[in-house]
Amino acid sequence: MPDGGTVGGTIGGERLVDAVVFDFGGVLTGPVRDSIDAWLARDGIDPASFSRTLKAWLARDAPDGTPIHRLETGELSSAEFDALLAAELSTVDGRPVDPVGVLARLFAELREDEAMFDLAAELRRLGVRVGLLSNSWGDIYPRERLEALFDPLVISAEVGLRKPHAAIFELTLERLRLPASRVVFIDDAEPNVLGARAVGLRALLHTDAAATRAALAKLVPGLG
């Protein structure tokens, strides 16, 4: 893979990739943080209690997995995760956090990014396959829309694997039936980008639709 996993330019106008795989939350949607902030304010949750819990559950790989890891691999149901998360949170006025539907409320303000869906559709029209690879925090996906555009759909809880571990990237490549060097992976989380590069995929850290489109245009002739 050129440049140690970075995305390079076209060679004489030749297309350098055959597939682009998108993350969902934060890539095909607006920033997840915006929805989280709205939820914290709406439910009156102390932001420090959420940040502390999130950091603890994301920062380590416990032998049996943290609640986030177990949610992402399908070992915990959304309801079970809701109860565990609510127990760790505190509100600004001392009320208990309602454990029913925590994830649904957390993602209530998450909005699809139409510019990114347009980009995926344009790639398909140019003959580039588009897939989806997502660590799932419950079923927040617009299934009908995704199934009409992306193939394969690799959802962590449905396959029992999670990013940034190599196995889920390898499974995605198997379903694409393509070598890693011909696939670009796009994610808004740097550990997932690094995990993709470790198994040979080209990978982009997503910040916004314009920057991602510009980077892909270097690989796909005709992408405006």
The CATH number covering residue 143 comes to: 3.40.50.1000
User: Looking at 58-67, 136-145, 159-168, 199-208, which range is the least confident one?
Assistant: 58-67
Predicted pLDDT at 4: 39
End-of-domain residue from the set 106, 123, 149: 106
For residue 218, name the pLDDT band (cuts at 50, 70, 90): very high
Lookup: tokens for 35: 């929805």
Residues 136 and 210 in one domain: yes
The per-residue pLDDT of the chain, averaged, comes to 93
Task: Examine the pLDDT at 47 and tell me if it is beyond 80.
Answer: yes
Residues 9 and 119 in one domain: yes
Task: Examine the pLDDT at 177 and tell me if it is beyond 90.
Answer: yes
The answer as to whether 123 is a domain residue is: yes
Its pTM stands at 0.91
Total number of domains constituting the chain = 2
The answer as to whether 146 is a domain residue is: yes
Residues 87 and 9 in one domain: no
Q: Is 12 left (phi over 0), alpha (psi -120 to 50) or beta?
A: left
The answer as to whether 159 is a domain residue is: yes
Residues 179 and 154 in one domain: yes
Length of the chain: 224
Residues 64 and 124 in one domain: no
For residue 62, name the pLDDT band (cuts at 50, 70, 90): low
The tens digit of pLDDT for each residue in 197-216 reads 999 999 999 999 999 999 99
End-of-domain residue from the set 90, 106, 122: 106
**Range(s) of the domain holding residue 144:** 2-30+111-217
For residue 7, name the pLDDT band (cuts at 50, 70, 90): low
* Cβ atoms within 10 Å, residue 212: 22
Residues 62 and 19 in one domain: no
Residues 19 and 74 in one domain: no
The tens digit of pLDDT for each residue in 105-151 reads 999 999 999 999 999 999 999 999 999 999 999 999 999 999 999 99
Look at 13 and 16; give whichever has higher pLDDT: 16
8 A C-beta contact, residue 188 and residue 205 = yes
The reply to whether omega before 152 is within 30° of 0 (cis) is yes
Question: Which stretches of the chain are DSSP H helices?
Answer: 32-43, 47-59, 67-72, 78-88, 102-106, 114-125, 143-149, 156-159, 166-176, 190-198, 209-217
C-alpha distances out from residue 113 to 27, 84, 165, Å: 8, 30, 26
Task: Examine the pLDDT at 59 and tell me if it is beyond 90.
Answer: no
